[in-house]
Structure 1
Amino acid sequence: MKHFSLSLLVVACWLLPGLATAQTVTGTVTESGQPIVGATISAGATGTVSDVDGTYELSLRNAGTYTLTVSYIGYGSQTREFTLAAGETVTWNVSLEGGATNLEELVVVGSRTAPRSSTTSPLPVDVFTSDDLTATGQQTFDKALQYRVPSFNTVQTPVNDATSLLDPYEIRNMGPSRTLILVNGKRKNMSALLYTQTSPGRGETGADISAIPTDAIKRVEILRDGASAQYGSDAIAGVMNIVLKDNAEDGSVTLRTGITTEGDGEQFGIALNNGTNIGETGFINYTIDLSKIGQANRPGMVDAAGEAADFGASIEDVRAFLSRYPDARNINASPETTASKFVVNFGSDVSDNTEFYGNAAYVYKKVNSFANYRTPYWRTLADFPYLADFFPDGPNGEYIGYVPTFEGNLNDYHGTVGFLTRKDDWIADVSFTTGGNEQTYTVSNSHNRNSTLNPDGTFKYRENSPITFDPGGTRFTHNVGNIDITRRLSDMVGIAFGAEFRNESFTVIEGDLASYEDGGADSFSGNDPRNSGTFDRYNFGGYADAAFDFTEDFLINATVRLENYSDFGNAFVYKVSSRYKFAEDQVTLRASFSTGFKAPSLHQIYTQKAQYSFVPGSGIQVGGLISNVSREARLLGLPALEPEKSTNFTVGVGLRPNSDLSITLDYYNIKVEDRIILSTEIGSTDAGNTPLDNLLAQNNLSDLSFFVNGLDTRTSGIDFVSSYRGLRFGDRSLVVNLSGNYTLQNERIGAVKNPEIVAGAGQSVANPTQEALFFTSRPKYKAILGIDYDLEKVGFSLNNTLFGPTEFRQQGLATGLYTEFETKVVTDLSIFYRLTEKFTLQFNANNVFNVLPEWNFKSESPAGDALLNNPAALQNQSNLITFNQRYSQMTYDGFHFSQLGTILTLSGSLRF
């Protein structure tokens, strides 16, 4: 695969035609000598952006006279006319000045009125260009952010069924559903996937940002502050705005390939980004990205004694099997993934004061993964004699167990059309956005082992069972209408107001009969028609925003918002932020205070299903997830879900002591009341005669779980971002970037809010395992030290990412013990070489030193100390939480950087 990929790269580049001589404008864009990254340089519909050192190069197709404009969010634009002869190159160096009155540029996240730069804005905002993301060498957009944003974390879980389609991510330890994702400033649809396994993000959903191809991205703006007042629900932790490329002339094609140093996880991909003019004033930019990532397998060596004890098997039989297959034939780590992605961004002037714009994207992703291997002493021929005929997979056609497959198909789309009109100093933006995400599954190489009898006395399933099942899936769609109006009333006052209407639809797609009846397919049960259907709601919201520049240095911004939801009523939130500059703009003090909310998702309200999960000490069990609007919920007296309410406070400082150094330091404090959680598994009571016991017995369930407003929480910490460009070698600067996040507090406030039926059973909806997922399963601290140096022909980027310790308390772990992931540093190296002005080779070595996640038992009491000094007892605890070492490297709660070790990638990019 590797040789084929490299050969195709060389051949494709050789076949691409040469280009005619172009007219070129080059230069740098700065503010007070400080390079500006991501400034837009345009000539009509043709444009480009400035690089990490502020440089740019704009190629123009024809000789003639052009009007060039240089602009950047929060700065006044500059315009100049050039007359270029054929093949001529001119230089235009531009120094921009901050401008609070410039509302004709794209409105950045964090304010509905005038934008500001990162060091002088009243809110902490990070901006990353496409080159920043590409330099990481990561396969997907979400993984690239993992190595660029200290407060951003994502995990890849080893065997978590549908989670293999979409990894959970979050900002500031707040879960994936509390970061709002925008595309060109418009709300992106959520995923149809609800995370229900024991991993970070459990009980939540979020937008599928991994579906967005990096080659389509112009820049990413990340607001690290609550923004419900500006944007509505889901913005408690912050907002991520993905700005798509809008270049009408230039394009590129990139071929990439890669492999792990273990020889698996092969990668191959091709991405084409191109643009063209629409008439004299319009543009269209499109991206096509096709990729294939091979399976990588990192199973643990299974412990025979633990297996024999768990399955009641003969130790001799277990040892005989493990002597041939030490990993028990388990397949876990990274699934095979195939993806095709298409993105288009377009716009055109329809009159002197009105622009029509839009964008659209479609993504298809297919994932092939596996459940835990069913060993012959786990699913025995004595219990299921027909398995010898179903799975004759041994060397001589004998039964040696089987591994159910989990095949997922993901379809994600979104699109926006709108009009932006400027008239009499008013700017009106009217848009319509639609989007959806569908995930459907197939389970193969399995069976329905239920012993239900037909009227003639034969088994309905067992030996009559199919081996391939359609479990159904889920679908989520939304439609959003926005009206946003802004105006600068004077040099001191700017206003904005608007409204949004949104309707959402969540569908549970039923599976075939054999996939769900009487337990369904062994490994993953399908959706019962009784729990399936389509569920809808709508909401209407309005906001008003005002910015007051009392002086050139002192700003106050205030926003209020009112939302009305069809299913739970009203929500009123507000936000106030301020900024004060002094010492000739070298120091900026900033602060904000806001209230926010997060509506319960339709997924959380209506999901009801049987679920297979690993229960330490009990193996794989079938539990029930019941919805809060079900008959079962009424029998148990479960309350309806209410929206979460939050209070955010941020205070920080921005420093720019000279043109080479910039620093921002921000403290944040987020309180969330009535936080929505997916409860722990609630089992039967000692009495055995409660409605809870009856419900479990009637449905043949080991336990049940449900969503509830179960906790009040507080999260606080510090974000630090700095950049230094003062180390110069010749005419080039060595750029040093240091950023970090430190969590000061992430904990529950007050008692767990247990429903009466749970409290009466002496149980809790949030046990230590659940609370560890919420509060300690993310790094305590994380830091990124990056060094970049760009010569004319060659350059390199060296990143060191420090992942701080995480703590976890797995279900079933003995009292007094917990596990801790060790602090690790992952080093990534990127080297690029410009063979010509148009063709660049880039080599990435991710995780150069092959650093792997490691964890250890820790004690928190004398009982824990005793266990640490008892190797046999400690081995038993290790077996308990790793399914007898199947997941010995990462345990079952996930991990924060790749367990695949060193990954090598090579890409070639041709600009045209």
Structure 2
Amino acid sequence: MRQLTQRPPLKIATLALAVSMAQSAIAQQDTLLEEVIITGTRLADRSAADSPVPVDVISGSDFRVNGSTDLQDMLRTQVPSFNVNSQPISDAATITRPPNLRGLSPDNVLVLVNGKRRHRGSIISFLGGGISDGAQGVDMAAIPSLAIKQVEVLRDGASSQYGSDAIAGVLNFRLRDAAEGFEMVARTASTFEGDGDNYMVSANLGLPLGDNGFVNITGEMRDVEGTVRSVIRDDVAFAAANGYAPVSDFQTINTYTGDVPQYWGTPDVSDDIKLFINSAYEINDNMEVYAFGNYAEREVEGGFFYRNVVGGANNLTGGSTGQRGGVYAGPTVDPLTGLSSATGVPSVLVGDLDGGSSCIDGIPLGGSGGVIPDPTFLSQVSASENCFSFIETIPGGFVPRFGGTNEDMALAVGVRGDINVGTGLDYDLSVQRGSNRTDFFIRNTINASLGPATPRDFVPGGQEQTETVYNANFVYGIDVGFASDLSIAFGAEFREEEFDLFAGDPASFALGPLASQGFSSSSNGFGGFPNDTSAEQDNTSFYIDLEADITDELTLQAAARHEEFSNFDGTITYKLAGMYRVTDSFRIRGAFSTGFHAPTAGQANITNVTTQNVQGVLVDQGTLPLSSAAGQLGADFVESFGNGRPELDTEEAENYSIGVVFDIGNSTWTVDYYNIDVTDRIALGANVDFLDALNFAGGGSDYGSISEALTGLDADGIINRQDFLGLDDLAEFRFFSNSFDTNTEGVDVVGNTYFDFLSGSSTVTVALNYNKTEVTDRGTVNPISDGRVEALELQLPEFKGNITWSHVQGKFRTLLRANYFGDWRSTSNGYDVGASTLIDAQVAYQFTDSLEVVLGVENLFDEFPDENPGQGSVGQLYPEDSPFGFNGGTWYLQGRFVF
């Protein structure tokens, strides 16, 4: 029986982006041809160098040689086509940041742990920066980096081998499996600005399990303080300069920053705890049982947009006042009476608590800047027990604080081995269950419709993704006269998926007594879920995978998979790949495959309402299920344009690639071209005006407000009012459907060389990526917006890469890395951003055989993206969609103890 518990150490020159912490560069070269992978192949002894498709292997020690403690930021440094943003003010996407590979959506990337499909996260990224809008990917932040033995990155389509999602590629995190040893890492860091303080303590322990097994345990604790990169908003500065005193005291507006009212920065991450266990036990020479699993939790908190009380300079020009609608913004009123007047002045909204008409409609705004509430009318409102305005209780405005607690857990158990049938039948039978749950909170906000009775903190509810996967995999080798046995891999998988929404506290979705008077309902910024809901789907798949060395020079691979979903049509995918060894130092490889991604149960059934800044005005936008009552009204409205009716089904892909692998002296290089067509992509379509859809449902009615329309349609028997609970302030909404097509093409160039330098050993590695996405069809039934097209095509740099020089000399180890980000366009702010090069530096000293101390700097020269030219509009100094963030330089100090 082949060894199952102790696999050979995996390193490969094709993406060795940092020097090994324990081995010399010469030793790396000597073992190059002995390296083995399990991703992209079913063979037990296939080396990465002989794989028909590019599979890059990064050792765990190499993977951790950078300035970050977050797994996704580490990947961004190591894998050039992998991108992840900071995601400030991005609702739930702040809690679980959506990454992307090769410019495609997070749910176009399959994530494995120990070769098994990882369950999705509970977060659907409604604000995904355009590229990731609507994606529900895996929460990789739950994986502690110290638990990783190596990362295998399959840079090719693999749906026929692994199922849904493997369009852009596959990330396989293989866990450490040592049966002995202890490693502990303690780390502290901060930005050059003096904020963003963070620490991490992590430990790994290997223990024997009898004489024939192991238990490997990793734990991590982490805490990250948020950063602030903001400027004073123009409207706040204008109001303060023109005599509105409350906004001059920023501390009352945003106690988090203390100097600027608008929060822009990376969020706080606290109580970040991770635990991973990997184990196996060999029962006999032909059978091994194994188990691995994890538990993780964290709390993430960030800021939202400032809720303005009195507006800014545009009050004088008759434009939008900038006041928060539904809270402060009243109608235009006669400055002498405070009653509504089409030719009047802006006002602050006033409510009548008993529902009568004894109060004025709004407190007029006047003065030289048009921002001073008329003191006479303000006094009248304050003196009346029946009249109310939020300017009385929250005169400076407010900035909600939004976040959530995330809990992730999983367990996989299985048995693997071989049965002696001819050349041997290998088997791997397993079952796993994983879940990811997020419970939201929003603080320092209000439910305006409740008036003075509103709470300031809310629990809007939560959501959870749960998956159970049953796998049966077999590999059988047959001698058919080729240079190697013909490997026949086959198997089946059954996967159950459930997505649950949990109701929030009643105040978070309540339609209070002031709703009919223009005050917004629900917790402002992130409305609560009114009901517990649950959605399920399952799928069954069967696959066959053939691979053989036809001759000593030619390797061919073919795979096919049938996958059947309970809620969607079945799909058949296939793959053909091959490698030809022209010489011992020159290889040509290529592949063609089809792929797919099926909508998740969450995407098909989620309801979400959030606040967006639309041309300087905060409005409520919603995402509703296409199958819901409101979604069907929207579908009716969209269908009326004559382009068809929106539907939701799987998206399809075609992926082809061709590349070369060659050696020149002491250097090894790979160059791979790829081209990916994705059709009928699952998308959040263009926003539908909610009132227009309701008027259309009413046969062309002309209702003046959403509340009026909902009440009227309910009275006419067209809708059930209860089906639209919590949507009275919804300005516009969208839903998931199949919409647009894209073509993504690019080139990966990876290489390394090693050499003696001074009295030590050096390695220089290069990893470059060119990636370009074009929207070839934006859709006709429910087309995506111009902004989404711009984000998909321009938001990521076309060129990205790094060059790393690492050197080992005696007890010293040094690293110098240049990270290049080409030109890109900030689609959230509408301007082009120039290229940037960030320099990382690190020096380590091995005090003893057990103790190493590392001092490093990430972004040594404190590089920032080009400043936002319209930074004063919302206080945003740097673009939020920067591919390398906007915190500037960071220093860190780390101690590593092993025995």
Tell me which interval the TM-score lies in, with the shorter structure as reference length. 0.7 to 0.9
What SS does the corresponding residue of 2:349 show, helix, strand or coil?
Answer: coil
Match of 1:85 in 2: none
Match of 2:3 in 1: none
Distance 1:527 1:684, change over 3 A: closer
Distance 1:314 1:98, change over 3 A: closer
Pairing partner for 1:520 from 519, 522, 538: 522
How far residue 423 of structure 1 moved from its aligned partner, in angstroms, is 2.0
Deviates more, 1:721-730 or 1:422-431: 721-730
Pairing partner for 1:650 from 638, 657, 661: 657
Tell me how far apart the structure 2 counterparts of residues 775 and 507 of structure 1 sit (CA, whole Å): 34
Tell me how far apart the structure 1 counterparts of residues 684 and 190 of structure 2 sit (CA, whole Å): 38
For the pair 1:616 / 2:615, whether they are aligned, the reply is yes
Distance 1:611 1:551, change over 3 A: same
Describe the superposition over 1:485-529 as per-residue Cα deviations: whole angstroms up to 9, x where unpaired. Answer: 112223241111111110000011111221012320112111121
Describe the superposition over 1:150-208 as per-residue Cα deviations: whole angstroms up to 9, x where unpaired. Answer: 11111112211222211110110011110000000000000110011251311111101
Instruction: Count matched residues.
Output: 769
Distance 1:476 1:54, change over 3 A: farther
Match of 2:888 in 1: 901
Match of 2:557 in 1: 557
The residue type paired with residue 478 of structure 1 is: E
For the pair 1:269 / 2:281, whether they are aligned, the reply is no
The residue type paired with residue 646 of structure 1 is: A
Match of 1:441 in 2: 440
Distance 1:269 1:393, change over 3 A: farther
Tell me how far apart the structure 2 counterparts of residues 403 and 431 of structure 1 sit (CA, whole Å): 48
Match of 2:879 in 1: 890
Tell me how far apart the structure 1 counterparts of residues 755 and 273 of structure 2 sit (CA, whole Å): 42
Match of 1:462 in 2: 451
Contact 2:16–2:765 (Cα < 8 Å) also in 1: no
Match of 1:254 in 2: 185
Tell me how far apart the structure 1 counterparts of residues 180 and 167 of structure 2 sit (CA, whole Å): 39
The residue type paired with residue 217 of structure 2 is: Y
Tell me how far apart the structure 1 counterparts of residues 548 and 128 of structure 2 sit (CA, whole Å): 47
Match of 2:242 in 1: 316
The residue type paired with residue 526 of structure 2 is: F
Distance 1:304 1:537, change over 3 A: closer
Match of 2:576 in 1: 576
Pairing partner for 1:370 from 303, 318, 332: 303
Contact 2:229–2:877 (Cα < 8 Å) also in 1: no
For the pair 1:383 / 2:370, whether they are aligned, the reply is no
What SS does the corresponding residue of 1:147 show, helix, strand or coil?
Answer: helix
Tell me how far apart the structure 2 counterparts of residues 35 and 202 of structure 1 sit (CA, whole Å): 32
Contact 1:337–1:365 (Cα < 8 Å) also in 2: yes
How far residue 29 of structure 1 moved from its aligned partner, in angstroms, is 8.8
Residues 389-788 of structure 1 mapped to structure 2, 5 A cutoff: 399-424=395-420, 425-450=424-449, 461-490=450-479, 491-518=484-511, 519-529=521-531, 532-583=532-583, 585-617=584-616, 619-635=617-633, 636-637=635-636, 638-658=645-665, 660-683=666-689, 689-691=695-697, 697-698=709-710, 699-730=728-759, 732-743=760-771, 745-750=772-777, 752-755=779-782, 765-788=783-806
Contact 2:761–2:809 (Cα < 8 Å) also in 1: no
Tell me how far apart the structure 2 counterparts of residues 97 and 780 of structure 1 sit (CA, whole Å): 33
The residue type paired with residue 425 of structure 2 is: W
Alignment RMSD = 3.2
Contact 2:150–2:175 (Cα < 8 Å) also in 1: yes
Pairing partner for 2:79 from 135, 142, 149: 149
Distance 1:536 1:35, change over 3 A: closer
How far residue 623 of structure 1 moved from its aligned partner, in angstroms, is 1.9
What SS does the corresponding residue of 2:877 show, helix, strand or coil?
Answer: coil
Describe the superposition over 1:28-63 as per-residue Cα deviations: whole angstroms up to 9, x where unpaired. Answer: 9999x989989xxxxxxxxx997463659xxxxxxx
Tell me how far apart the structure 1 counterparts of residues 693 and 854 of structure 2 sit (CA, whole Å): 66
Match of 1:66 in 2: none
Tell me how far apart the structure 2 counterparts of residues 387 and 850 of structure 1 sit (CA, whole Å): 51
Contact 2:21–2:61 (Cα < 8 Å) also in 1: no
Pairing partner for 2:116 from 169, 186, 192: 186
The residue type paired with residue 657 of structure 1 is: I
Match of 1:225 in 2: 156
For the pair 1:839 / 2:851, whether they are aligned, the reply is yes
What SS does the corresponding residue of 2:100 show, helix, strand or coil?
Answer: strand
Percent identical residues: 28
How far residue 96 of structure 1 moved from its aligned partner, in angstroms, is 7.5
Distance 1:686 1:470, change over 3 A: closer
Tell me how far apart the structure 2 counterparts of residues 363 and 402 of structure 1 sit (CA, whole Å): 33
Distance 1:374 1:181, change over 3 A: same
Tell me how far apart the structure 2 counterparts of residues 663 and 281 of structure 1 sit (CA, whole Å): 40
Gap regions ≥5 residues in structure 1: 1-27, 39-47, 57-92, 100-104, 451-460, 756-764, 857-877
Pairing partner for 1:331 from 263, 271, 293: 263
Tell me how far apart the structure 2 counterparts of residues 469 and 523 of structure 1 sit (CA, whole Å): 11
Describe the superposition over 1:382-436 as per-residue Cα deviations: whole angstroms up to 9, x where unpaired. Answer: 53689999xx999x99843322221310001122111111121111011111111
How far residue 809 of structure 1 moved from its aligned partner, in angstroms, is 4.4
Distance 1:54 1:534, change over 3 A: farther
What SS does the corresponding residue of 2:223 show, helix, strand or coil?
Answer: strand
Describe the superposition over 1:838-857 as per-residue Cα deviations: whole angstroms up to 9, x where unpaired. Answer: 0000112011000011157x
Match of 2:364 in 1: none
How far residue 602 of structure 1 moved from its aligned partner, in angstroms, is 1.4
Deviates more, 1:317-326 or 1:602-611: 317-326
Describe the superposition over 1:3-32 as per-residue Cα deviations: whole angstroms up to 9, x where unpaired. Answer: xxxxxxxxxxxxxxxxxxxxxxxxx9999x
Match of 2:360 in 1: none
The residue type paired with residue 486 of structure 1 is: V
Contact 2:53–2:154 (Cα < 8 Å) also in 1: yes
Deviates more, 1:317-326 or 1:423-432: 317-326
Contact 1:30–1:36 (Cα < 8 Å) also in 2: no
How far residue 821 of structure 1 moved from its aligned partner, in angstroms, is 1.8
Contact 1:112–1:230 (Cα < 8 Å) also in 2: no
The residue type paired with residue 882 of structure 2 is: F
Tell me how far apart the structure 2 counterparts of residues 398 and 288 of structure 1 sit (CA, whole Å): 44
What SS does the corresponding residue of 2:460 show, helix, strand or coil?
Answer: strand
Match of 1:79 in 2: none
Deviates more, 1:694-703 or 1:333-342: 694-703
What SS does the corresponding residue of 2:844 show, helix, strand or coil?
Answer: strand
How far residue 117 of structure 1 moved from its aligned partner, in angstroms, is 3.3
Distance 1:687 1:168, change over 3 A: closer
How far residue 319 of structure 1 moved from its aligned partner, in angstroms, is 8.8
TM-score (norm: length of structure 2): 0.81
What SS does the corresponding residue of 2:656 show, helix, strand or coil?
Answer: strand
Match of 2:357 in 1: none
Contact 2:262–2:874 (Cα < 8 Å) also in 1: no
Match of 1:84 in 2: none
Contact 2:14–2:670 (Cα < 8 Å) also in 1: no
Gap regions ≥5 residues in structure 2: 1-7, 252-257, 311-322, 329-346, 351-377, 512-520, 637-644, 711-727
The residue type paired with residue 176 of structure 1 is: P
Distance 1:849 1:748, change over 3 A: same
Distance 1:847 1:314, change over 3 A: closer
Match of 1:165 in 2: 95
The residue type paired with residue 411 of structure 1 is: E
The residue type paired with residue 162 of structure 2 is: Y
What SS does the corresponding residue of 2:789 show, helix, strand or coil?
Answer: helix
What SS does the corresponding residue of 2:75 show, helix, strand or coil?
Answer: helix
TM-score (norm: length of structure 1): 0.79
Tell me how far apart the structure 2 counterparts of residues 781 and 740 of structure 1 sit (CA, whole Å): 7
